């Protein structure tokens, strides 16, 4: 199943898409990213920051609101673009201070998820890890990194009731499709759970 997914994405992930992302990084412009095989209705909008062969790091903006940063797999990207009306949206986001926020990204390089998670080991807030092609409890995890192995991350996770799980989750790095950092949801949980 995963191989089929990767093959479809590689066919869709053209050199033009990569060049578009690179151009938006160089010109510090807002971009819209689609990952059709993940969610046909979701579009990630923000300033792209770091692009490697495997990953894209970008700020995430929802309705002019700062939603932190996301790290996604390049293989999942089916389209990347900005449209004429995005110029006005971008102007407002810049006036709201969202372009300056990109300097606060804790991720400076993104060769693979192991390197990203190592940079977040001492991150003082919660993060989320998503395994969007899995149909088990690893689909969405929120909490903090405990340790990282060569092929997996040990993760302290809590549930929707704010109860920490007794056992650390062992999440295989090759199952991760998205890491979320500094979003409103995890920030609010951090506010009330950080001392526990």
CATH number of the structural domain spanning residue 188 = 2.30.30.100
Compute the distance between CA of residue 22 and CA of residue 51 in angstroms, rounded to an integer: 7
Q: Which residues of 63-76 are buried (b: 16+ CB within 10 A; e: fewer)?
A: eeebbbbbbbbbbb
Question: Do 19 and 93 belong to one domain?
Answer: yes
Q: Where are the alpha helices (DSSP H) in 46-153?
A: 86-95, 113-119
> Whole domain around residue 12: which residue ranges?
2-48+76-104
Phi and psi torsions of 14, nearest 5°: -80, 165
Digit-coded pLDDT (tens) for 178-193: 999 999 999 999 998 8
More confident residue, 94 or 5: 94
Give pLDDT, residue 86: 86
Residue 1 clears pLDDT 70, i.e. is over it? no
Question: Do 16 and 83 belong to one domain?
Answer: yes
With bands split at pLDDT 50, 70 and 90, how would you rate the model's confidence at 136? low
How far are the Cα atoms of 60, 97, 102 from residue 94, in angstroms, in the given order? 13, 5, 11
Q: How many domains does the chain have?
A: 2
What's this model's pTM, rounded to 2 decimal places?
0.88
Question: Do 117 and 99 belong to one domain?
Answer: no
Q: Look up residue 100 and give its two tokens.
A: 């300056």
Compute the distance between CA of residue 155 and CA of residue 153 in angstroms, rounded to an integer: 6
Give pLDDT, residue 13: 58
Question: Do 84 and 167 belong to one domain?
Answer: no
Question: Do 6 and 100 belong to one domain?
Answer: yes
């Amino acid at each position: 199943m995963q191989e089929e997914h990767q093959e479809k994405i590689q066919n869709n992930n053209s050199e033009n898409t990569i060049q578009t992302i690179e151009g938006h990084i160089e010109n510090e412009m807002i971009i819209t990213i689609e990952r059709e095989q993940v969610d046909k209705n979701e579009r990630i909008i923000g300033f792209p920051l770091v692009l490697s062969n495997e990953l894209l790091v970008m700020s995430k903006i929802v309705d002019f609101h700062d939603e932190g940063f996301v790290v996604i797999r390049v293989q999942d990207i089916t389209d990347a673009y900005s449209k004429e009306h995005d110029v006005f949206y971008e102007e407002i986001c810049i006036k709201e201070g969202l372009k300056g926020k990109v300097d606060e990204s804790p991720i400076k390089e993104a060769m693979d998820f192991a390197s990203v998670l190592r940079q977040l080991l001492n991150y003082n807030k919660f993060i989320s890890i998503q395994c969007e092609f899995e149909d088990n409890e690893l689909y969405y995890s929120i909490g903090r990194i405990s340790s990282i192995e060569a092929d997996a991350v040990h993760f302290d996770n809590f549930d929707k009731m704010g109860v920490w799980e007794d056992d650390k989750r062992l999440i295989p790095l090759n199952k991760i499709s998205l890491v979320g950092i500094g979003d409103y949801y995890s920030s609010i949980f951090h506010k009330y759970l950080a001392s526990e």
